[in-house]
Structure 1
Amino acid sequence: METPDLDIQIKTLPTQPGVYQYYDKNGAIIYVGKAKNLKKRVSSYFTKNHEYGKTRVLVKKIASIKHIVVDTETDALLLENNLIKKYQPRYNVMLKDDKSYPWICIKNERFPRVFSTRRVYKGGGEYFGPYTSVKTVHTLLDLIKGLYALRTCNYDLAQEKIEAGKYKVCLEYHLGNCKGPCEGQESEDAYNENIKAIKEILKGNFKDSLSQFKQQMRDFSENMQFEEAQKIKEKVEVLENYQSKSTIVNPKISNVDVFSIMSDESYGYVNFLQLSYGSIIRSHTLEIKKKLDESDEDLLALAVTEIRQRFNSKSKEIYVPFMVQLGDDVKVTVPKLGDKKHILDLSLRNAKYFRMERFKQMKIVDPDRHANRIMAQMKADLRLSEEPRHIECFDNSNIQGTNPVAACVVFKNGKPSKKDYRHFNIKTVEGPDDFASMEEVVYRRYKRLQDENKSLPHLIIIDGGKGQLSSALKSLDVLGLRGKIAIIGIAKRLEELFYPNDPIPLYLDKKSETLKIIQQLRNEAHRFGIEHHRNKRSKSALNTELETIPGIGEKTIVELLKHFKSVKRIANAKLDELEVVIGVSRAEKIYNYYNTK
């Protein structure tokens, strides 16, 4: 049967919840999505005017649509998750993860063993995990081993085999790490009581174990068995110490999953914390590469389903920063204050730190990728037509109207290019006129670049508001560069960004990387300009003071400064102090000049 046209396929879609799959002309699956109402959701792709480029490309490539109807929205979410992992469609977020995680297994056998494993066998025992950190597994196993005597051998401890005397106790028994169930020296009931306590510890519940050990300690003390009481006391301290490190919220918060999301232009970072009796028993952050500018709501719903599946979570309640639809089986809570909000904030902090670490690693391992990401971010934030790989920033310095100078600093790929920095002494402007000075330096800078046939910047940043920007634009007009180079002004007070012919400034997020780079450029231009201005003022001060004294030359000035370190000290020096350095004749001239003045 021939595939019907797209518009017919859309018109005949059901209005039930389900999963839709888009295929290209080659029959390859390119996108999988979920919907509460299949017809409404799929129709929106073809009726909306999509601003995001990749969505437009996706829509153009759709040749046919298939769908699967399910009972509930939750079923649709689970099915979407499985299909994405199975087919890895080009325009879906990536959920690939080949890594296997460690579990703690309590073996399904008489006198169960407790050990770590990366393989889960159905019916093989009770599994706790998976854990995202092997270190956590080792810590827990060491804790359990210190508290309870468990067997480590792999014998089949069937009752008849023990009674037949088939086994003998090993070194672990003599070391006190095992009580010898292989020779019938420990009852199955006593051993299983320990296993029951271990299960509670693995769930994060330390309360029962602590009260049990404390009671044992009191019993031993009352019976004058102080050595045994001391051993129990040490176990209590180990347990309390471990609990104090892991309990960070109200212990009443139990069997809860916490999710938070942090995202940027290209990636979403979803952090997952699992809580049991007020302890974090698991933390994991999932990095998701965006494909179609997905919203945080879409990413979080997808990630919650993926993470809960991956870690086999059976929690009946989750905490999230905003409401997500996950069906009726899970209670979704959006905390606003108290302990619940505290743990949600902690999760968000983990996501932020993970993102920061990824960026730092990227800078070291793949600086090009880091630069590409920053440039793409700046292009989007500043509404530019091309990435600002080469940025130049101008700043004027004329403290108290003296020695007007200007500075131009250059950033390439988001980093300072100090060899390209330039100073300017203002030549055509009399007095402190920032606007005229800006007009002069911008003209001189780009006239020279044109004459020398050097590459022009992609973006010019003017340290100042509308007036400074207008002055710079006049020079670009004269040079025929207006419209060829993007130019913006940044006002100091509120970090407003001004654009040519636009009276309304742009305000960037105070924490955005784009604004941080612009501030770095401006601060660098200011520092560089002030440094040059200070040098000019110092030279000027020397000229007006020491060099104006008749009979005092440059060599004399250098000798004096080497000895006295400053002009002020020379002016306040006594005659005999000056004579020691430069002789009687010249010392008298300097002494008389300052003292008669």
Structure 2
Amino acid sequence: MPPFDLADIPHSPGCYLYKNSEGTIIYVGKAKDLRKRVSSYFQKKDHDPKTQKLVAAIRSVEYIITATDEEAYLLENTLIKHHLPKYNIDLKDAKSYAYIELTKEPYPRITIARNTRGNGQFFGPFVSAKERDYVLSVVKKTFRLRSCKNMPKNRPCLRYHIGNCTGPCGAHVSVDEYAKQCSYAAEVLKGSTKEITAKLEEEMAEYSKDMEFEAALLCRDMITAVENLSSRQYVARKTDHDEDVIAYRVVDGTVYLMVFHVYKGTLGGRDEFIFDASDGFFEEFVARYYTDENPAPKEIIVEEELDEALAAYLGTLAGHVVKITVPKQGAKKKLLELAGKNIETVHFGDEIKVMELQAALHLKTPPNVIECFDISHLSGTDTVASMVQFRAGRPDKRNYRRFKIKTVDGIDDFASMAEVVHRRYSRLIEEEKPLPDLIVIDGGKGQLSSAKRIIDELDADIPLISLAKAEEEVFVSGVPFPLPFGKKTKANMYLQEIRDEAHRFAVTYNRLLRKKRLVK
């Protein structure tokens, strides 16, 4: 068992940092699903010797969630290089990801760069080569920039003749006009993509109107690439100075605050604080946090305006000018949002997913107590059912139940589901115990209908839904189509978490019964 509560870790992409008994970071890893990845270290039994030593040394875990899986890669790369953890020794020289470069020439060319040691403008980095190539193609074609390494005079290349380049090699464009093209491209590569997106959408509509569907599809792919660029990894961006990003949330008189440390454009770590709220607490925190031993960076990014005198005071302590910024949009604003998202996930993640599920299902009250059923058998033998209960967003294992199916022979999941639902809720009603706020059935419309019939017979007023495995679709009784909320919403992911736990519990019981039968 881990020396910490796995239920505290969210099902989100991000990085996890294992610490030993002295609080030293000994390993940094990335994950698409933090809880599943961290859990695997303590559930798996056949680790290699190095991982066995790591697991034995783990005493606590810290995590930083990211907006995308790609950002987790970038953040892991940064954290490993910054902290040099003992068990990441082979990864400390992890690769850096590619950039798009506009070279510094009279007629700059657009190209891919593996590092930022040149004198040009660099944009990125990009984890996905496919996304990078799409973006490069879109910008290059839209603004008709040169990509050729050598530029022979008075001999335009093929790209000029097909309209993909303005032809600086043939003196078909002036230096000033070409510089204007490059400035537009740079703005797009920085994330100002509305103009190019509108243009491509217009072209796509024209192609569709003329039934040129292949060209329309290409435009659609380009739009996707540009939109990906506008929301690309903002945990890494090129700047020439360090920054701190400070966000906070106040709940019931308590301040939950995080400081993200951004080293020359790359997110490298965070500090976390909890204290009682009071008048002027934020300004007081900033003034006390930065000291001679902990000098302020050149820029502090915050959510509210602070006294100008505070920036001057911090600058005096640090020995350099300190700028306090309140961004309204762009990468800095997104970093603030990311810090806020970390606060919400760390401290209020359970509450948020319950409220989002309530909104998605249009329930009158929050589904604080949810019970989920699953059926498990092997070709109709040893048929069992599980019921797991989640309370306030977390599994409540004291109230898990498992059932042997008594009235059904062979394979009949519908009848089996009807049996266990009747056994569970007829007993609760008879004993006058509280009913759950929501019932979740693992299965499609057939299992849902069977459970609904029993709930109606018992005259129990409990909302009832089912979650079908194939497409993670949510069904409610009487509606032939699945509810319209996406697989990646917090509500749906919470339902998947509950369903997966019910499935695990059912399969474990089925295997136990089969093992006992085989032993006999």
Q: Tell me the TM-score normalised to structure 1 length.
A: 0.35
Higher relative contact order by CA 8 Å / sep ≥ 6: 1 or 2?
2
Q: Tell me the TM-score normalised to structure 2 length.
A: 0.39
Larger C-alpha radius of gyration, 1 or 2? 1
